[in-house]
Structure formats: structure tokens, C-alpha cells
């Protein structure tokens, strides 16, 4: 049978990728630890200006959309095909590293350069996107740019103010966006053929398994709850052990039970964490009267999370009865998990396997892909994170591994460009 498959010639230039990553690492707030480039700051704008230059040199037509996203566009040969988009982000958390988000944007630019150098024309238009402010921001929102692109940034969110008094609406204008046009220009289902993202794993799985590439099966959903345990504060010296209503010992049972429930083997991986905890009145000689803590459970299967929370809440009722405490559970948020379509996973897996040792794994962290998934099929490739560390200065991926990720992404792009079936 006739096949359209051409020999792959887009091998990325590792040295150029390394230079790009190192260059962005110089455009950071030196007064903060690590490599800090918070959105809407001078360092962010400096990085953006440099990225724009890189995009232009790679032959991309550069624009900034209503949400401030920096977009480089390369027209394809078949006008009726909707674009394939490659994106990530270049903002960092405070005290963050040099790779999170950054490698995904650099990867897109490197692929554009290789297309240019080899005189390769794609059928689909290619868009390389540096999404505005992906990390949790002072406005209490993350993935600001990708939200805006899919029309999921509300008027209320645009009016929020950070500690410095900056209104999000103004911040977006500062980097060249125009919030007034976010809704009319938002992309709709079918406007994008496919969204692809290369990212560091931010966890230890690939390194532990000695794998070079990860095919992301989906992005976990996150359910968060606030638990309030009410007991009775009393004198720690005069109240006998059998006459206490100690909120902290009750809360401790709950914290351990969450760990137990999440340690069982389920059909998909689960993690559960109590990361925020306060004890009142918090005095050395006072029996704790009230504990407030927040817990979250993450899994790609929301039914597993629901089942865990149902068991947890039954257990909480037992502890409340046994210890005569008041225990309340309030849901704070539920974000849905994203599943990568099986045929998208297969094509990415083929591209990854042709490049290096590959395994499937879910993403335990959220990404811009979460937002894009509301309008288009999405696919993600992970490269290893040394010791699984991320959002810290120690965050590291060998440049050779980043280059493998870029190659796998380029192979995936070519595979999809040649025979991807449009979905509506
Ligand atoms: Zn990221």
C-alpha cells in the first residue's frame, strides 16, 4: 500500500535548545531564589520580547491574542485544515526552576526552526503558543492564558487584584493583550485540530523506571475539602484522659485514615494529601478545641475519588460519635480529570517509542492542556525530572533528555499532520 510516511529529518539541535533554556534563565528576578519569572513583571516581558525574536527568526508570524498569549504561526499547505497547536508557558512559581513550561515553548520554536531549515511544509497550520501565566497567580487563578483562549476567563476573574494593586485586566493589557476581545475571539470546539504539549514530568516515575519519555494518558482530577473538627478546649493538667473532647487527636485519626484509603491499590493511581492544618488555641497546656484542615485527593478516575471521599466521610462520622466531636466536611473545589483519547495516545506512543524508552503515565499536575481539552483533542509528552523535583531551584532535566522530548514531539507532529482525522 502507498504510504505517505517520509523519513524523519527534524532531529532537533540539542546545543541550540540548551542555549535557549540558559538564555531564558538569565531573564529572572535576581532578588528571589531559584529562577523566578512571575507573570506581568519586567522579567516576564523581557523573556517575551526575546521569545518573539526567536519565533520570528524561525519563520513564524508572531501575534499576541486577547488574553496576552504569544503566538507564532506557520501556514500549512491545506487551508481548510484547522491548526495544530504546540504550547506551554514561561512564567514560573517563585523560587522555581529553569524547565517547567519553558521546555515546551522552546520545543515548539525548535521544531519551527527545523521545519524552516529542512524546507518542510506541513499540511496543517502550526501554532506555537507561550500561554500567559500558567502557574497559580496572586489573582487566585492558574492557566490564565489558556483559560482566556477557550473563553473560560470570567469578567469577575479579570477584575481581581493582586497584593500590589494590579488588576488582572491591566496586567493582560501590559503584555499586549486586550481583555475586551476575549469572548468574541475565544476559540471554539473544532477551531483547533489538536493541542500538543511537551513538559517535564515533575514527579519521579520516569527516572525510577529508567524511561526517557512518557506518554500522558490523562491529567488527574482534584477534589479538595475543608474539614472542621470541633471539640472542647480545656486545661491540659486538670482534665482526666477519659473526660476530654480533643479535636486534634480526632483530626489525627482522620489524617491517617486518608493516607490509608489512598494507599490501597485501585484501577488507576490515587494520591491524597492533608497539606494545610491549623490547631486552636494551639497552646502547650490547652487541650485542642478546634482543628481546621484541608485535604485533596487526585486521580484520573473521579469515581475512585468519590468512593474514597464517601469512605472517608463515614469514617469521620464514626470518629465523631466515638470521641463526641463535631466534624464537618465541606467541598471546596472539584476539577475534572482529562483523558487523552486512545488514538492520540497511540500516535504519541509510536512517536516516543521511535525516539527512546517510553512508558504511559497520568499527569498528577494540571497544565494548559486542561483548558485546551475543552475545545480540542490534547496530547502530552513528559521527560524525566531528576529526583522528581519541580517548582524548586533543584528542578533539572538533562539537555539530552529535553532534546529527546523535542524529537518525540516533532515525530508526533509529523504523524498527526500526515494522517490525523479531523474530529468535530
Ligand atoms: Zn508547567
Give pLDDT tens digits along the chain (424 positions).
Answer: 444 455 789 999 999 999 999 999 999 999 999 999 999 999 999 999 999 999 999 999 999 999 999 999 999 999 999 999 999 999 999 999 999 999 999 999 999 999 999 999 999 999 999 999 999 888 888 899 999 999 999 999 999 999 889 999 999 999 999 999 999 999 999 999 999 999 999 999 999 999 999 999 999 999 999 999 999 999 999 999 999 999 999 999 999 999 999 999 999 999 999 999 999 999 999 999 999 999 999 999 999 999 999 999 999 999 999 999 999 999 988 888 999 999 999 999 999 999 999 999 999 999 999 999 999 999 999 999 999 999 999 999 999 999 999 999 999 999 999 976 554 3
What pLDDT does 420 receive?
A: 62
Cα–Cα dist 211/207, whole Å = 6
**Residue 192 DSSP code:** -
CA of 374 to the centre of ligand 1 (A): 18
CA of 320 to the centre of ligand 1 (A): 40
Instruction: Give the pTM.
Output: 0.88
Q: Is the peptide bond before 281 cis (omega within 30 degrees of 0)?
A: yes
CA of 108 to the centre of ligand 1 (A): 15
Strands 194-200 and 221-230, bridge-based pairing: unpaired
CA of 244 to the centre of ligand 1 (A): 47
What pLDDT does 3 receive?
A: 44
- Are the C-beta atoms of 381 and 104 separated by less than 8 Å? no
Grid cell at residue 180: 475586551
CA of 401 to the centre of ligand 1 (A): 17
| DSSP one-letter string for 237-304 | TTS-GGG---HHHHHHHHHHHHHHHHHS--SS-EEEEEEEEEEES--TTEE--EEEEEEEEEES-HHH
CA of 250 to the centre of ligand 1 (A): 37
Strands 213-219 and 126-131, bridge-based pairing: unpaired
77 class by beta-carbon count within 10 Å (0-12 exposed, 13-18 middle, 19+ buried): exposed
| Residues making up the chain, counted from first to last | 424
CA of 201 to the centre of ligand 1 (A): 9
Could you tell me where in the chain the CATH 3.30.70.360 domains are found?
222-335
Residue whose grid cell is 525510577: 208
Q: Let me know if domain 222-335 sits in CATH 3.30.70.360.
A: yes
Could you tell me where in the chain the CATH 3.40.630.10 domains are found?
14-220+337-423
Rama region for 87: left / alpha / beta (φ>0; ψ in -120 to 50; rest) = beta
CA of 230 to the centre of ligand 1 (A): 38
CA of 114 to the centre of ligand 1 (A): 24
CA of 119 to the centre of ligand 1 (A): 31
CA of 301 to the centre of ligand 1 (A): 22
CA angle (93 as vertex; 91, 94 as ends), nearest 5: 120
CATH superfamily of 14-220+337-423: Zn peptidases (3.40.630.10)
CA of 19 to the centre of ligand 1 (A): 20
**Residue 39 DSSP code:** T
CA of 367 to the centre of ligand 1 (A): 6
Task: Provide the H-helix boundaries in 276-398.
Answer: 302-323, 342-353, 368-372
CA of 27 to the centre of ligand 1 (A): 17
CA of 135 to the centre of ligand 1 (A): 7
**Cα dihedral sign, 377-147-102-59:** positive
Amino acid at each position: 500500500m502507498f504510504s505517505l510516511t517520509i523519513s524523519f529529518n527534524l532531529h532537533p539541535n540539542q546545543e541550540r535548545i540548551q542555549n535557549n533554556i540558559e538564555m531564558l534563565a538569565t531573564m529572572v528576578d535576581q532578588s528571589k531564589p531559584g529562577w523566578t519569572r512571575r507573570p506581568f513583571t519586567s522579567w516576564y516581558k523581557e523573556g517575551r520580547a526575546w521569545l518573539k525574536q526567536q519565533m520570528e527568526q524561525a519563520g513564524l508570524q508572531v501575534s499576541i491574542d486577547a488574553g496576552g498569549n504569544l503566538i507564532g504561526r506557520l501556514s500549512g499547505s491545506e487551508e481548510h485544515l484547522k491548526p495544530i497547536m504546540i504550547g506551554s508557558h514561561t512564567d514560573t512559581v517563585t523560587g522555581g526552576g529553569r524547565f517547567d513550561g519553558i521546555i515546551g515553548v522552546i520545543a515548539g520554536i525548535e521544531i519551527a526552526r527545523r521545519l524552516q531549515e529542512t524546507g518542510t511544509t506541513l499540511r496543517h497550520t502550526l501554532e506555537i503558543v507561550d500561554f500567559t501565566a500558567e502557574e497559580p497567580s496572586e489573582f487566585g487563578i492558574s492557566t490564565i492564558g489558556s483559560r482566556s483562549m477557550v473563553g473560560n476567563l470570567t469578567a469577575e476573574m479579570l477584575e481581581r487584584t493582586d497584593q500590589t494593586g494590579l488588576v488582572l485586566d491591566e496586567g493582560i493589557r501590559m503584555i499586549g493583550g486586550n481583555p475586551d476581545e476575549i469572548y468574541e475571539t475565544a476559540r471554539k470546539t473544532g477551531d483547533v485540530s489538536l493541542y500538543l504539549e511537551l513538559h517535564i514530568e515533575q514527579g519521579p516515575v520516569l527516572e525510577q523506571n529508567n524511561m526517557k519519555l512518557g506518554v500522558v494518558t490523562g491529567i488527574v482530577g482534584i477534589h479538595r475539602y475543608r474539614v472542621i473538627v470541633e471539640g472542647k478546649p480545656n486545661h491540659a493538667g486538670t482534665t482526666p484522659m477519659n473526660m476530654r473532647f480533643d479535636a486534634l487527636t480526632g483530626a489525627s485519626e482522620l489524617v491517617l485514615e486518608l493516607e490509608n484509603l489512598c494507599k490501597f491499590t485501585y484501577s488507576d493511581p490515587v494520591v491524597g494529601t492533608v497539606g494545610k492544618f491549623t490547631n486552636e488555641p494551639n497552646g502547650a497546656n490547652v487541650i485542642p478545641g478546634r482543628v481546621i484542615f484541608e485535604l485533596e485527593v487526585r486521580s484520573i478516575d473521579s469515581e475512585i475519588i468519590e468512593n474514597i471521599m464517601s469512605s472517608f466521610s463515614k469514617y469521620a462520622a464514626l470518629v465523631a460519635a466515638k470521641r463526641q466531636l463535631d466534624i464537618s466536611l465541606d467541598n471546596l473545589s472539584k476539577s475534572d480529570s482529562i483523558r487523552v483519547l486512545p488514538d492520540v495516545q497511540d500516535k504519541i506512543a509510536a512517536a516516543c517509542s521511535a525516539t527512546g524508552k517510553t512508558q504511559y503515565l497520568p499527569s498528577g499536575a494540571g497544565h494548559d492542556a486542561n483548558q485546551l481539552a475543552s475545545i480540542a483533542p490534547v496530547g502530552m509528552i513528559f521527560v524525566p525530572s531528576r529526583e522528581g523535583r519541580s517548582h524548586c531551584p533543584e528542578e533539572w532535566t538533562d539537555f539530552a533528555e529535553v532534546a529527546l522530548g523535542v524529537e518525540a514531539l516533532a515525530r508526533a507532529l509529523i504523524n498527526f499532520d500526515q494522517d490525523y482525522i479531523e474530529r468535530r
